Amino acid sequence: MPPYDPNPDDVAIPVLSTLAGTAQADFVALKQKVNNVFLLAGYNPVLKQQVINAGLNLDISIPASTSAAIAYGYAANITRNDLNGGSSLANVAAVAAQLNARLGDNLNAPFVKDTYVFGYASEAWTGEIASQATLIGGEMAIISQYNANQMAMLGNNIVFKNMSDVQKINVNHTHQGKGADKYNSNSIALFFSSFARSLDGERCGWGRGLVFTDSCFDEYWDNITGSFRRPVGIDFREQDGPFTSEPWTAYITPLKSGISSAICLAEYQSITWDRLQFIRTYLDSTNERFIILGIGASPTTVPVLAYNYDLNCLEFPSIALTGAPSPVSASIPVRVNGTDWFIGLSPA
């Protein structure tokens, strides 16, 4: 009998003349099922909401245990050992998981209002009855173990693309050309959302948007200056510019339309300056004034110092008036429309 040479990609073998014998039909059927999952051989399963029945489906329910070990659903580990330490290879990467979801061509019917394509979706749940845990929807961590590392450390790199990497490198033209030029229409790099309260009226939503915990920052090595630098919470210094002295156009670069506002707030949204949120700055659009200093905790804020941008004057809405001043003995210079003036001062 000739030796059996297994071929996991060919469901037509083994044949009866080899070691399969009368189990050939069962073995072929098993290989067809395996191919449906791993080789995309015409597998078209029924789709179910949240009860996944497509591609790979893993359903594990671990019984009660005292073990403190981590329970993994899927774990992927890849280690690259194929690089020459002395070479100068560019664009070398190791990717533990590449997840792509695609929308087919010509699926742009005007009646399709809510079509979503997720690269991945990750959820952390508690049980419905009396279970509690710190829920982490997704975690991305970097583990830097080389003490002389000078490469960038990126906890999360949110990239916008309008073509594949191959198209960008080889052609650098979009498939459809500039056209209506709405490739980035309504794009948001980081988006927070929540269910609204249900009919029960329970609180439902994020308590805080961004939180920087104690010890999350430290001095870092900066290759440009060749020195250690103090950390910065939100950093816009890498924006190219300024190119003009007008905020609307200062950061419009030769290749892109840059930002006009580093931070954009709506009316009456405040910046608070203390842990108790007692000292705040905000815009009072009803009275056409910018509140430079407002004091007071919930539910009342008292404006103390403001600038009226309709009348072009300082306002002190909550300061008690005193009697007539003593003779002026000092002054503060003020420049108005290029002309120097003086505010007279007298001792109390």
pLDDT in tens, 330-342: 999 988 888 999 9
Q: How far is CA 25 from the centre of its chain?
A: 51
User: What pLDDT shows up at residue 256?
Assistant: 85
Taking CA 315 as the corner, what is the angle to CA 313 and CA 320, rounded to the nearest 5 degrees? 145
Greatest Cα pair distance, the chain, in angstroms, is: 121
Provide, rounded to the nearest whole percent, the portion of the chain with pLDDT above 90.
54
Confidence of residue 53 (pLDDT cuts 50, 70, 90): low
Q: What is the pTM of this model?
A: 0.72
Of 264, 282, 305, the one marking the end of a domain is 264
pLDDT at 43 over 60: no
Tell whether 309 is covered by a domain.
Answer: yes
With beta carbons less than 8 A apart as the criterion, state whether 196 and 204 touch: yes
d(CA 161, CA 100): 14
Kindly state whether residues 315 and 293 are assigned to the same domain: yes
User: What pLDDT shows up at residue 60?
Assistant: 80
| Bond into 299 cis (ω within 30) | yes
Kindly state whether residues 292 and 282 are assigned to the same domain: yes
Taking CA 264 as the corner, what is the angle to CA 259 and CA 269, rounded to the nearest 5 degrees? 175
Does 39 or 244 have the greater pLDDT score?
Answer: 244
pLDDT at 343 over 70: yes
Tell whether 2 is covered by a domain.
Answer: yes
Kindly state whether residues 255 and 270 are assigned to the same domain: no
Kindly state whether residues 2 and 49 are assigned to the same domain: yes
pLDDT in tens, 71-85: 888 889 998 887 766
Residue 344: φ, ψ to 5°: -75, 145
User: What pLDDT shows up at residue 41?
Assistant: 47
d(CA 134, CA 126): 9
d(CA 280, CA 302): 10
Instruction: Give whole-number Cα distances, 178 to 182, 183, 311, in Å.
Output: 8, 9, 46
Tell whether 121 is covered by a domain.
Answer: no
Tell whether 142 is covered by a domain.
Answer: no
d(CA 71, CA 58): 13
Strand order in the sheet with 313-315: 271-272, 279-284, 289-295, 302-308, 313-315
pLDDT at 20 over 80: no
Kindly state whether residues 46 and 2 are assigned to the same domain: yes
Task: Give the residue carrying structure tokens 């050309």.
Answer: 177
Confidence of residue 292 (pLDDT cuts 50, 70, 90): very high
Q: Which one-letter amino acid corresponds to residue 5?
A: D
Kindly state whether residues 238 and 275 are assigned to the same domain: no
pLDDT in tens, 103-131: 888 887 666 667 888 999 999 999 999 99
Kindly state whether residues 252 and 282 are assigned to the same domain: no
| Interstrand relation of 289-295 and 302-308 (parallel, antiparallel or unpaired) | antiparallel
pLDDT at 34 over 80: no
Kindly state whether residues 17 and 35 are assigned to the same domain: yes
Tell whether 271 is covered by a domain.
Answer: yes
Domain count, the chain: 3
pLDDT in tens, 126-183: 999 999 999 999 999 999 999 999 899 999 999 999 999 889 999 999 999 999 999 9
Q: Which domain holds residue 302?
A: 265-323
Average pLDDT value over all residues in the chain: 85
Kindly state whether residues 30 and 45 are assigned to the same domain: yes
Kindly state whether residues 316 and 278 are assigned to the same domain: yes
Strand partners, 282: 291
Provide, rounded to the nearest whole percent, the portion of the chain with pLDDT above 70.
82
Tell whether 107 is covered by a domain.
Answer: no
Tell whether 346 is covered by a domain.
Answer: no
Paired tokens of 165: 């990497």
User: What pLDDT shows up at residue 109?
Assistant: 62
Tell whether 6 is covered by a domain.
Answer: yes
Q: Is 218 helix (H, G, I), strand (E, B) or coil?
A: coil
Confidence of residue 199 (pLDDT cuts 50, 70, 90): very high
